[in-house]
Amino acid sequence: MTIIFYIILGLVAGALAKLIMPGKQGGGIIMTIVLGVIGALLGGLIGNLIVGNGFSFALQGNWFISLITAIVGSLIVLVIYGFVTKKSRAA
């Protein structure tokens, strides 16, 4: 998949992850895209490891499965981002 697809999928997955995750998350549209793209890569890695395709970040399957794995990965990244930024705000 191309980098343009990852950016578009990252924007959608990051926005949906922010809607699903309770609370107020910081960051604007650029941070949403960055977290979404990282989440899409993480979701692709987790999905490939689960189904036995090996260590690969590539999203496989149809667009719906790719979106679901990207959202799951984005939720994981968003939780980690929340912990990191919460600790840095407290310091």
- Model confidence over 26-70: pLDDT tens digits? 677 778 778 888 888 888 788 778 877 777 666 666 778 778 888
Domain count, the chain: 1
* Whether residue 2 has pLDDT greater than 80: no
The model carries a pTM of: 0.77
Burial 14-40 (b: 16+ CB within 10 A, else e): bbbbbeeeeeebeeeeeebbbbbbbbb
Going by the DSSP 8-state scheme, the letter that residue 74 receives in this structure is H
* Whether residue 90 has pLDDT greater than 80: no
> 13 is in which domain, residue-wise?
3-90
- Which tokens hold the place of 39? 């989440």
Q: Which helix (H) or strand (E) holds 17?
A: helix 3-20
Greatest mean pLDDT among 7-16, 17-26, 59-68: 7-16
